[in-house]
Amino acid sequence: MPTATDDERSIAALVETHEADVWARCIEFAAAMPGDPLGAVIDRSGPIPLPALTAVDSGSFNRVVALGIRSPATPDCISGIIDFYRDLGQRSFRVELAPVATPPDVAVWLERAGLRPVSEGATKVWRRLAHPDWDNDLEPDLDVVPTECEVRRLTEADADRVAALNVRAWGAWQAPVSLSPWFAATVGQEGFTHYGVFMDDHLVCTGALSIDDKLAWIGFDATHPRHQSRQLRRSLTRRRLADAQAEGCTIIHAEGRSDRLSGRSRVLDTLYVRRFFAHGDELGQRS
C-alpha cells in the first residue's frame, strides 16, 4: 500500500488487529474442545497474539497476524515469535505481513531471523457498511439463492456437519490428524454466527460471521465439491453483510487466497495484499 491515504492506513490497522483477535479466539475455542485434540495454544502476553495448533504443525494455523500494527515491530519481537514456536516444537509457522506494518525494516528483520518470503499470500478485502448518516445501503441482491435452497443460521447442534463439509471441501482428510475439531470449535459459540445453505436438508455451503463492536469479519467458507456455485457463495456473503449492517457494524472484512475470493469479490473491495514469511515446510513454496 505505497500510496495509501491516512484513512486507508487507519482502516488497514483496524482490520489487521481485528483479524488477529478473531484468530486468537478461534484457537481458544479449539483448546476448549474435549481433550484438546489439536493441542491448541495461544499466547497473548506480547504485543500480538501468538497462536499454534501443535498437533498439526502447519503455517495455515501457526500464523502470526498484525505484526508491526499496534506498535512498531522490533528484532526482539521477532525473536519472541521464533522462540514461541521453537519451545512448542513447531517447525512450520509463518508471519503474515501487511504493507502498513512498521517500521519498513521489518521484512528485512524477518529474513535475517531465518523466515523467507513465499509465493503464497493473502488478499485482504473489505467494505464500509451503511450508517444512518450515509447513503450507501447494500445494492439489491441480484444473486439470490436458488429456489431449491434455503439459508439458515446454524447452532451448536450443526457443528458436526459443518466440520464434515469443511473437511470434504478443503481436502482436510489428508491432514496427519483430524481437523474436524477445528472446524466445529466456533459453531454456536459466543461472538461467532455460522450460516448454511441447505439443499433438500443437506448442508452444501457454509460460512461464519464474527462481530466485535463496529467491526465484522467473515470466514470459514466452504462449499460441497458437487455444488461449487459462485451464486451460493455470493449469496451467503451478502447475507452476512446484511446481518452485520443490521447489527450496526461500519466495516466488514475478510481475507483469503486471491483465486478463492470469487464469492466475495463482487461485494467486497481489495484493500491490500499481505506477504507471507515462512519457516519450515512452507519454504517449498519460496518465491
Question: Looking at residue 285, what is its pLDDT?
Answer: 44
Q: What average pLDDT score do residues 51-68 get?
A: 96
265 residue type, one letter = S
Q: Which three cell numbers stand for residue 72?
A: 512498531
Identify the weakest region by mean pLDDT among 108-122, 161-175, 205-219: 161-175
Whether 136 has a pLDDT exceeding 90, the answer reads no
Question: Looking at residue 286, what is its pLDDT?
Answer: 40
User: When comparing pLDDT for 28 and 226, which is higher?
Assistant: 28
User: When comparing pLDDT for 107 and 145, which is higher?
Assistant: 107
Question: Looking at residue 227, what is its pLDDT?
Answer: 82
Whether 8 has a pLDDT exceeding 80, the answer reads no
Question: Looking at residue 148, what is its pLDDT?
Answer: 72
- Per-residue model confidence as pLDDT tens digits over 227-240: 876 678 888 988 99
Question: Looking at residue 259, what is its pLDDT?
Answer: 56
Question: Looking at residue 280, what is its pLDDT?
Answer: 85
Question: Looking at residue 176, what is its pLDDT?
Answer: 76
81 residue type, one letter = I
Pick from 234, 232, 182: nearest CA to 204: 232
pLDDT bucket at 46, cuts 50 / 70 / 90: very high
Which of the given ranges, 30-39, 267-276, 278-287, has the highest pLDDT on average?
30-39
Q: Would the pTM of this model clear 0.75, i.e. be above it?
A: yes
Q: Which three cell numbers stand for residue 246?
A: 443490521
Question: Looking at residue 188, what is its pLDDT?
Answer: 97
Q: Report the share of the chain in percent with pLDDT over 90.
A: 70
CA distance 107 to 276: 10
Evaluated on CA atoms 35, 40, 41, 44, the torsion sign reads: negative
b/e map of 122-160 (b: 16 or more CB within 10 Å)? bbbbbbebbeeeeeeeeeeeebebeeebeeeebeeebbe
